């Protein structure tokens, strides 16, 4: 919501960080792209495990990370299509701020978010799923 209100390139906290640390751009959008990998990874993992779509943790992880990367790439395509449609307002929407590698770094952060989510939260998620299954068997 904050990025939508201020536009990604002008979020005040990250504007202050830009000044304080000498960044060349406001990096608020990078937080969003990290979350764009993290949140779908957790949702996809829940679905894959509960529906028993894929057996084996390695294949589940591969599918989930691939799904998150596909989602991120699709979002970047939507940004590009909107930029083509809006013409001169594209820079404000895209938030590239003159950074030619913006699309690639956005997808890299989504990858990092997905992998981080799986590595850091999988054990906690597994414990929660076990307790949910136990509770449902009791009732």
Residue range 87-121, pLDDT digits in tens: 766 665 565 566 778 889 999 999 999 999 999 99
Quick one: tokens of 42? 């957790």
Q: Quick check: is 8 in a domain?
A: no
Q: Quick check: is 13 in a domain?
A: no
Residue 37 contacts residue 68 (beta carbons within 8 Å): yes
| Cα 32 to Cα 2: distance, rounded to the nearest angstrom | 10
pLDDT score of 21 more than 90: no
Number of domains comprising the chain: 1
Q: Quick check: is 15 in a domain?
A: no
* Arithmetic mean of pLDDT over the chain: 85
What is the H or E stretch that residue 61 is in? helix 57-86
Quick one: tokens of 137? 């068997």
Q: Quick check: is 111 in a domain?
A: yes
Q: Quick check: is 21 in a domain?
A: no
pTM of the entire predicted model: 0.79
Q: Quick check: is 23 in a domain?
A: no
Q: Phi/psi of residue 52, each to 5°?
A: 55, 45
Q: Which domain holds residue 68?
A: 30-138
């Amino acid at each position: 919501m904050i990025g939508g209100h201020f536009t990604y390139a002008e979020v005040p906290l990250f504007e202050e960080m830009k000044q304080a640390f000498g960044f060349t751009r406001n990096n608020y959008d990078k937080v969003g792209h990290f979350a764009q990998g993290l949140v779908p990874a957790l949702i996809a993992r829940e679905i894959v495990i509960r529906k028993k779509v894929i057996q084996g943790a390695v294949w589940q992880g591969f599918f989930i990370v691939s799904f998150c990367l596909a989602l991120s790439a699709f979002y970047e395509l939507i940004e590009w299509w909107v930029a083509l449609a809006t013409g001169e307002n594209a820079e404000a929407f895209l938030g590239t701020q003159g950074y030619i590698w913006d699309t690639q770094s956005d997808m890299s952060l989504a990858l990092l978010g997905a992998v981080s989510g799986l590595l850091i939260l999988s054990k906690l998620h597994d414990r929660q799923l076990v307790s949910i299954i136990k509770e449902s068997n009791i009732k």
